[in-house]
Amino acid sequence: MLRLILAGGCVLITGYLILLIRSFDYMSVSELKRQARNGNRQAQRVYAVLGPFGNQVFLSLWVLSGLFWAIGITLTLSVVWSWLTAILVCIVFGFIYAILPRLNILKVELRFASGLSPVISGIFNFLNPILKWPRKIVSGLTDNNFGMRSLNSRDELIEIIRHNQLNNDKFSKDELNLAVHALTFGDKKITEVMTPRENVKYVRLDDVLSTVMLSELHDSGYSRFPVVESHRGEFVGILYVKDLTDMRNNHTVREVMRSDVFYVNEFSSLSNVLNAFLRTEHHLFFVTNEFEEVVGIVTIEDVLEQIIGRKIIDEFDSYGDKKQVANQLEARIVEKS
């Protein structure tokens, strides 16, 4: 009976040590150091241990958990021996030792390790003279970051950021959203963000820029319009609204448009399109399919919206007009007062 009680104690100790390892591994040492400098008491306690003794702490905890794991199995099988019992015991201890640390459902936070950190720090400081030579051997055989949390994939980094959205008030929601969208926008294809051809608002090559048409273009809210050749239906240029400033009546679109036209394949990623925008310094591309047919357009605003995670309000005209910028600033001051 005593052996079974001791075996149960070994199970509890093994589980506790595993959770302690998980808590020490809750955040990277660099983040731990940053939070310690910002006055986080829990981070200060844990960093006092992991700073000087990082790999030794993790190695010691793993060795101790493995030792109690082995003792627990031995004690259990010495009392109740059968093949079925042996299999069940190995499954239980294997779950505790190997699977328990990897379960994401465990919400083991930093405070679990911070409570025991002063004790662990005291033990290692007391044993420091004795462990001097073993530490050199361990440091030579193991990575300096042994046991420290590392990122194995982009998905893991995204999961950490999203976790901070719920549990961290040090960063604004916009900052964390920006980080997530910056990491994921490159996976999206143009077809997910482009404007399909049937929805494109365009002007015709031979349209006359009358007073009415100029007013409509200025009031549309768009900064540029694709230009279509009437007979063939091909896109032949771009009309920029900023080029229409102070323009007299009766000019045609052909006379004012810019004939530079750039194309991009519909299967290109947004990261490739962004690089193309930067290289060409052009802010609108025509999207083509495998048959060289234009199926839509994509603008630099479309790409930037995927990076920042929200719509961009197009106020392009204002930044080139000092009077309008001054009026905007005055309006915002009035709103706040």
User: In this structure, what DSSP letter does residue 313 have?
Assistant: P
Distance, CA of 279 to CA of 270 (rounded, Å): 14
Q: Is the pTM of this model over 0.75?
A: no
- Contact (Cβ atoms closer than 8 angstroms) between residue 308 and residue 178: yes
Bridge-based pairing state of the strands 284-288 and 294-299: antiparallel
pLDDT confidence of residue 200 = 92
Domains and CATH numbers, the chain: 2-150 (no CATH), 190-326 (3.10.580.10)
> Token pair 């200025």 is at which residue?
218
- pLDDT by residue (tens digit) across 297-324? 999 989 888 888 777 665 444 445 555 5
Q: Taking Cα atoms as reference points, which of 31, 325, 332 lies closest to residue 160?
A: 31
Tokens of 215: 């007013």
Residue position matching structure tokens 């149960």: 8
Q: Distance between CA 25 and CA 49 in Å, rounded? A: 12
Which among 56, 59, 86 is positioned nearest to 72, based on CA atoms? 86
Burial of 286 (0-12, 13-18, 19+ CB in 10 A): buried
Give the CA count within 13 Å in the CB-facing half-sphere of 57.
Answer: 29
The answer to whether residues 3 and 79 touch, using CB atoms and an 8 Å cutoff, is: yes
State the pLDDT at residue 105: 45
Closest alpha carbon to 97 in 28, 5, 21, 25: 21
Rg (CA), the chain: 32
What is the torsional sign of CA 329, 334, 336, 337?
A: positive
Contact predicate 8/80, CB 8 Å: no
What are the residues facing 239 on neighbouring strands? Answer: 225
Q: Which residues of the chain fall short of a pLDDT of 70?
A: 1, 27, 80-86, 89, 93-109, 130-153, 156, 163-170, 249, 312-337
Nearest by Cα to 33 from 20, 17, 52: 52
